[in-house]
Amino acid sequence: MDFEYSTEEKAFQREVRAFIEEQRSPGVMDPTREGMAQLVDTPERRRFMKAMADRGWLGMSWPAEYGGGAAPGIYEYLLNEELAAAGAPLIGKGVGIVGKTIIRHGNERLKSEFLPKILNAEIEFAIGYSEPNAGSDLASLVMRATLAPEGKGWILNGQKRFTTSAHFADWYWVAARTDPDAPKHKGITLFLVPMNAPGITIQAMDCIGDNERTNEVFLDNVFVGDDYVVGEVDKGWYYISEALDFERFTLFTISTYVKKYEVIRDWIREATRDGSPLKDDPHVRRTIAWLATQIEIAKMHTLRVISKAGAGGVPNLESAMFKLFTTQLGQKITDEFLTIAGAQGALRRDTPGAPLNGRMENYYRYSVIDTVGAGTSEVQRNIIARRGLGLPVEN
């Protein structure tokens, strides 16, 4: 593998960085807010996404026949990394989870209705997978979809949890059980439902991080037409698994962790404890060197995912390894900082004396989200055990 970017890829990086500087605004990008750009919706954020769409950067890797740029996946990766480094919104669930699945498995109605809107940044999606008793074990979901009396659609009933974008999304990408007698990994179907459909109720769920919000969504006799079934009935688990592999890759970028490491490293260069420079402490030096090594390992995991996707494969095992390693590395980075900083490290934002203005304390709480979203660490270990090590599935 060639670890150097090509001349064209480096030129694209420079173009993205120039674009970010043109669009720079604290209302749409802030690296100290640890991913808040993905969790909130403002007119300024929508304008930023539209500006990316106008440059053809949404759907860059989609086939040209669907309006995409047919570019190698490395360009999408480079775009996301630069956006994440600036604390800006990433290319989004619509481009990755929804759009790529519709391209591969959707009917013509879904392709014609949704793909142009995704490319033009005209639409936002919420993902409805997790339920009160079906989070990590998604195949245990119980929300029912039954045939409508007229036989030309479905009726959805049930509850979803941790639907992050539900309070501002336009459409709901939701999984429901259409065959309760089938094995739990079968009999699941994906639907697209407008968030303003009669029977949908959204209730806020606050998180332990500052100002983060997710949601519970209740569906009571919500009608969905047959045209809005994604792919084949009862084949939803296959589509979900495939989409999650791409989500783990597109939502969890290396640059966010690199920036956190660099902030801590630079702070240690200037900080003192009891009048002595922290940078001279042997334990601190070993810790920083170890974290730098872990960052490089995470970059190699990223390249494995890119290599697999670039060859036309679905990076299921590679994405699981990448997601598990990087999100746990994020927790290690902030944990080591709080240990080095001592009692003051636990001070919250805008508290006098808080190192780095409490940013790492905030991320210490926020980092739990990273290890849960797009499949928990336990789920990733199961994927690695089964697909990578060939271990048997426990019955």
Kindly state whether residues 140 and 210 are assigned to the same domain. Answer: yes
Kindly state whether residues 170 and 54 are assigned to the same domain. Answer: no
Of the residues 234, 262, 289, the one at which a domain ends? 234
At 255, is the pLDDT very low, low, confident or very high (cuts 50, 70, 90)? confident
Instruction: Residue 84: count other Cβ atoms within 10 Å of its Cβ.
Output: 25
Structure tokens at 117: 């809107």
155, part of any domain: yes
Q: For 321-355, how does the pLDDT look when each residue is reduced to its tens digit (9 = 90+)?
A: 888 998 899 899 999 999 999 888 889 888 998 99
pLDDT at 28: 85
Pairing of strands 188-194, 171-177: antiparallel
Give just the sign of the alpha carbon dihedral 204, 134, 118, 36. Answer: positive
Give Cα 13 to chain centroid, integer Å: 21
More confident residue, 308 or 25: 25
Domain of residue 48 covers 7-91
Q: What percent of the chain has pLDDT over 70?
A: 92
Of the residues 199, 234, 269, the one at which a domain ends? 234
345, part of any domain: yes
Q: For 25-63, how does the pLDDT look when each residue is reduced to its tens digit (9 = 90+)?
A: 888 887 777 666 566 678 888 899 999 999 999 999 899
Q: Which residue(s) pair with 215 in the sheet? A: 204
Kindly state whether residues 256 and 384 are assigned to the same domain. Answer: yes
183, part of any domain: yes
Kindly state whether residues 220 and 257 are assigned to the same domain. Answer: no
Residue pair 321/301 in contact (Cβ under 8 Å)? The answer is: yes
Mean pLDDT in residue range 357-375: 81
216, part of any domain: yes
Kindly state whether residues 224 and 258 are assigned to the same domain. Answer: no
Distance separating alpha carbons of residues 222 and 300, to the nearest angstrom: 45
Kindly state whether residues 211 and 271 are assigned to the same domain. Answer: no
Residue with tokens 């007229």, as numbered in its chain = 150
pLDDT at 366: 79
Structure tokens at 246: 């791409």
Of the residues 67, 91, 115, the one at which a domain ends? 91
Q: Does residue 369 have a pLDDT over 60?
A: yes
Q: What percent of the chain has pLDDT over 90?
A: 49
Q: For 64-106, how does the pLDDT look when each residue is reduced to its tens digit (9 = 90+)?
A: 999 999 988 788 888 988 998 888 988 888 998 899 999 999 9
Q: Does residue 315 have a pLDDT over 90?
A: no
Burial profile 92-111: b = 16 or more Cβ within 10 angstroms, e = fewer: bbbbbbbbbbbbebbbeebb
Mean pLDDT in residue range 362-382: 81
> What number of helices (H) and strands (E) belong to the chain?
11, 10
CATH number of the domain residue 384 falls in? 1.20.140.10
Segment of 135-139, 222-226, 273-277 carrying the highest mean pLDDT: 222-226
Q: Does residue 199 have a pLDDT over 90?
A: yes
Kindly state whether residues 268 and 381 are assigned to the same domain. Answer: yes
266, part of any domain: yes
Kindly state whether residues 284 and 376 are assigned to the same domain. Answer: yes
More confident residue, 376 or 47: 47
At 139, is the pLDDT very low, low, confident or very high (cuts 50, 70, 90)? confident
241, part of any domain: no
Kindly state whether residues 257 and 225 are assigned to the same domain. Answer: no
Q: For 205-249, how does the pLDDT look when each residue is reduced to its tens digit (9 = 90+)?
A: 877 766 677 899 999 999 999 999 999 999 999 898 877 766 555
Rg (CA), the chain: 22
Kindly state whether residues 314 and 273 are assigned to the same domain. Answer: yes
Structural domains in the chain (count)? 3
Residue pair 61/75 in contact (Cβ under 8 Å)? The answer is: yes
Kindly state whether residues 285 and 367 are assigned to the same domain. Answer: yes
98, part of any domain: no
Average pLDDT, the chain: 87
Within 8 A by CB and 6+ apart from 72, the residues are 61, 310
Kindly state whether residues 325 and 356 are assigned to the same domain. Answer: yes
240, part of any domain: no
